[in-house]
Amino acid sequence: MTRILFFALGAVWASPYSLAGLLVGLIATPFGARPRFARDDFALIFHRFPWGPGGAMTLGNVILNTNTHLDSLCTTYAHRAGWCVEPKTRIGDHERAHVLQYMALGLLFLPLYFAHGGVSARNRFERAADRYALTGKDWWPWLEANAKPAGAKSAKTTKPDKSAKTTTTRH
Ligand SMILES: [Zn+2]
């Protein structure tokens, strides 16, 4: 019951962003986007989203995805920055963490997201989403597990993993 209440309140709280995502998704539908509700991801996903660099972006309970599915594997931000070696993660799991973050933070999400560095390995929101995608928990950005990795400051001396290059982005 608490869980249902959390999701109902979260969906309302995140709804201004969800509405923006829905609007963009609906505009994209005549250009090929295909909406599908994914209960497990707590989101309406617009697959085949026709614009953007390739990858997925979450707005509230809406995910805009250029691919036909969310099963692609991505390197984590910390791995790509050369801070550590981590397994690849499923893009859908990463985006689900952002959905949960939106539902917890509502309108505060984007101001806080950009205040913490935007699309970057230094952003605790992205590290939390990667942590969630790796472990299935810890999507809340202010957990100790999502503090800046110890190797972060020596990023420039660490050779980036060439295999980390990917055309798939996720925010
Ligand atoms: Zn992300």
Which whole-number Å values give the CA distances from 131 to 46, 76, 93, 146, in the listed order?
24, 9, 10, 7
* Domain locations in the chain as residue ranges: 2-65, 73-170
Task: Provide the residues around ligand 1 (an ion) whose CB is within 5 A.
Answer: 126, 129, 170-171
What is the pLDDT at residue 170?
74
pLDDT digits (tens, 9 = 90+) for 39-69: 999 999 999 999 999 999 999 999 999 999 9
Q: For 143-170, what is the mean pLDDT?
A: 60
CA 171 to chain centre: 5
pLDDT in tens, 112-133: 999 999 999 999 999 999 999 9
The Å distance, Cα 51 to ligand 1 centre, comes to: 18
* Gap from CA of 9 to ligand 1 centroid (Å): 22
